[in-house]
Amino acid sequence: MSRNRLLASASVVALGLVAAGGAVAQDLKPTSGETVFFRGWQYKTDIVQSNVDRYNSELDGKVDYATVTGDYPAIMETNLIAGAELDILYANPSQAARYYDGGWVLPAESLPNIDEIKADMYPNILDAWTYKGELTGLSYFVSTRGVMHVNLKQYGELGYTDADFPATWDELYDQLYEIRDKGVEQPYLPHWLSEWYGISWGFVFEVMNRGGDFADPETHQPTLDTSEGGPAWATLEDWKRIFNDGLVPEEVLTYNESAYIDAYASGRYVFSPQQLYDLETFNRPDRSQIAGEASLLPYQGQSWGLLDSAVYLMTSRERDEAHTDDVKKFASWYGFKDQNGEIFVGQRWMQESMLFSGYKSVMESEATAERMKGALARPGDVEAVLGVYAETPYPKGIWNVVWSEEFNSWLREELQAFILDDGDIGDMLESINEKITELNAKYGI
């Protein structure tokens, strides 16, 4: 969008809002007097609390926010089954699909301004968050998990330049051995952390980046190529090689998210697949030893990572109508536009943490462009970020299905055991297809 067109559009929107301002504010004001319970995982909880405080103070709301520690998917699932006091929660698309099939979710389709919300979403994001024809929730963040971060300081000291950046996973592994030969014993921190989105996601994105896939997006029947030399085979072969040759630290298998970030921020590693928005973290002097030197491998014909996103879900627990209306109002305020017609929370996440949004109005704003420039090591990295982001795959076949979380938990454990026990590649790959078949049978898919 050109700047002139952007300004013209903004003027029209602003005029409309001035005309309808009072009505909009009235619409989002709660009326039931009941508490709306909002729960999420631990991520910058101070920001979330201040957003909630703003809603409560400006619109006289009664939103109770608390963070959930521990095994988030399992905890939320048991809460939903028990019909606990829970109205709005964070969820990944895979969790959303499972909760939807459990009948515990009120789809975003029920919001009065759903057409406006959908119109502002990128089509691929809308597709990822749509399950059985319904949009499950509103945008919390969108990112690429598994973007290959590079520590420019160490990379430069080893005699490399941007021209040497690996374009594919194969090239990356070859370069790791070169670096090892130059004296860095463990140059790579793999995405093998113990979180539920750790090693299993690491495997999924690497296979997809190499051109493979796990299950059909519609039928969910297994499609993983188990042949020698296929994307999945090559991935596991390389994993075994770098682990057995000592190029990676074993303890990464026990890292949680913060330990994983801290390890890379320590500057010990040259490469690591990390969250896209953590480029901002790694370039902050108060948080990282490689501030100003944290960059990423650009898209050069092969994607890096997978589309990681989260939505705000509304639950369908028993409530009276006025209470449910309040839940929708808060969800709309928090997950889309506030009483001033601005995507306040979404834009704030961009400004504070460089969290991408599913909304075009956030991603295409001037403020976002400025923010990204300020958060990255080099001006050219903005283009690299957008290039990688645009090509990020999404594993719909194994994520938009009711058994997704079970499969993920199983895969995580199996992959850890595979690495530690020097497992057989063929057996591992066959077992993945068998597991998908078994889960399909379990759920009658």
Partner 1 sequence: MAGQVTSTGRTSELSNLQFALLMALPVLLFLVLVVAYPLGYALWMSFQQIVFFGGYRTNFVGLANYATMLGDDKFWWSIWVTVRFTVESVLLAMAIGLALALLLNRPMRRPGLIRTIIMLPWCVSLYGTGIMFSYLATGQTGFATAIAFFFGADRPVSFVNRQWVIEVLAIGNAWNMAPLVAFFLLANLKTIPTRLYDLAAIDRMSPLETFWNVTLPPLRFTLFVFTCITTVLSMKLFDFIFVLSGGGPGTASAVMTYQIYKISFRDLNLGYGAAQSFVLLFLIVGSTMTLYALWGRREAAR
Residues that bind partner 1 (CB under 8 A): 70-71, 73-74, 77-78, 81, 98, 101-103, 185-186, 194, 249-251, 253-255, 259, 262-263, 266, 402, 405-406, 409-410, 413, 416-417, 419-421, 443-444
Rounded CA separation 250/267 (Å):
18
The minimum distance between CB 289 and partner 1, in angstroms, equals: 13
The minimum distance between CB 70 and partner 1, in angstroms, equals: 7
The minimum distance between CB 426 and partner 1, in angstroms, equals: 19
Rounded CA separation 358/328 (Å):
19
The minimum distance between CB 162 and partner 1, in angstroms, equals: 27
Nearest to 63 by CA among 244, 275, 274, 328: 328
* DSSP 3-state percent helix, strand, coil across the chain (nearest 5): 50, 15, 35
The minimum distance between CB 152 and partner 1, in angstroms, equals: 21
Which CB, 145 or 268, lies closer to partner 1? 268
The minimum distance between CB 77 and partner 1, in angstroms, equals: 7
Which CB, 35 or 186, lies closer to partner 1? 186
Which CB, 264 or 336, lies closer to partner 1? 264
Rounded CA separation 194/252 (Å):
8
Which CB, 77 or 171, lies closer to partner 1? 77
Tally the C-alpha atoms within 13 A of residue 86's C-alpha that lie toward its C-beta: 25
**Which residues have a Cβ under 8 Å from the Cβ of 260 and sit 6 or more positions away?**
189, 193, 195, 198, 252, 274
Which CB, 148 or 411, lies closer to partner 1? 411
Rounded CA separation 362/366 (Å):
9
Q: With beta carbons less than 8 A apart as the criterion, state whether 134 and 313 touch.
A: no
Rounded CA separation 67/167 (Å):
39
Which CB, 389 or 407, lies closer to partner 1? 407
